[in-house]
Amino acid sequence: MTEQPIREALDAAGRVPSEQDLDTLSRQLNRPVRDVVEIGARCVCGNPLVATTAPRLSSGIPFPTTYYLTHPVITAAVSRLEAAGLMNEMNERLAAEAPLASAYAAAHDSYLANRDAIGERSGTGAVPEIAGVSAGGMPTRVKCLHVLVGHALAAGEGVNPLGDEALQAIAEWWTKDKCFCVGAWDTEGQAPSQDRSRHVKTQEKVDPAIKRAERAAKRAAREAAQNSGEQK
Ligand SMILES: [Zn+2]
């Protein structure tokens, strides 16, 4: 990986999540948020657009997807692009256009540099299990546009070429110079405080290698438990 400067849209003060930000994130996602250490990007009105999660969860699990798009207007717009097949088009272009491929590879490196910095700041430190693993399909594929848009918003323009393109493509539904928050989520009553989302569809599947390692660890634990007669 080449050395990449840390690129962040918000300054240190802007990144600090307030109680109100966390409440808003829970409302935007309709579930309580956990392990959010910073805000990655904000609406012109100040509301969060992107939640930043530490590279290791408080449960100890390594977490490669640092930036999570939370604003319902943006997530819905990006879902429309995915449904329209934009990812296939991007993948074809990545295979055919060398300058795009190299800019996208640089975005992957930049993502990792940002994540290292977030790990430092949040006290997680290095997370060797996910070294070199970013998200969204980077560095060579596009598997989740939400991840790329989250990165583009958190890093600012000019870092993730395909995230920037996706933002352009949703301009009829959302642009960063205007507030689209009114009515976008339920602001009445209590914020979701119980996890009602056992089967929440995540934006990014965990890297298969990590999944395999986790399954192997679980299997080993199960077998150890069986051998010791604690469990059937
Ligand atoms: Zn707003």
Greater model confidence, 169 or 209: 169
Ligand 1 geometric centre to CA of 187 (Å): 13
Say what the pTM is. Answer: 0.82
Ligand 1 geometric centre to CA of 78 (Å): 18
Ligand 1 geometric centre to CA of 13 (Å): 18
What letter does residue 191 receive in the DSSP assignment?
A: P
pLDDT at 53: 97
pLDDT at 197: 43
User: Which pLDDT tens digit goes with each residue over 69-100?
Assistant: 999 999 999 999 999 999 999 999 999 999 99
Return the ∠ at Cα 53 (arms to 49 and 55), rounded to 5°: 150
Nearest to 149 by CA among 205, 42, 69, 66: 69
- How many residues are recorded in the chain? 232
- Residue 42 near residue 15, CB atoms below 8 Å: no
Return the ∠ at Cα 131 (arms to 106 and 142), rounded to 5°: 45
Ligand 1 geometric centre to CA of 22 (Å): 15
Ligand 1 geometric centre to CA of 34 (Å): 22
Ligand 1 geometric centre to CA of 36 (Å): 20
Ligand 1 geometric centre to CA of 119 (Å): 28
For residue 20, give both structure tokens: 């109100």
Q: What are phi and psi of 184, to 5 degrees?
A: -80, -20
For residue 210, give both structure tokens: 């990590």
Strands 36-42 and 67-69: unpaired
Q: Is 144 left (phi over 0), alpha (psi -120 to 50) or beta?
A: beta
Ligand 1 geometric centre to CA of 44 (Å): 6
For residue 158, give both structure tokens: 């000019």
Type of residue at 39: I
Q: Where are the domains of the chain?
A: 12-227
Ligand 1 geometric centre to CA of 183 (Å): 10
Whether the per-residue pLDDT at 101 is higher than 90: the answer is yes
Euclidean distance between CA atoms 39 and 37, whole angstroms: 7
User: Which pLDDT tens digit goes with each residue over 126-135?
Assistant: 999 999 999 9
Ligand 1 geometric centre to CA of 21 (Å): 12
CA 132 to chain CA centroid, nearest Å: 16
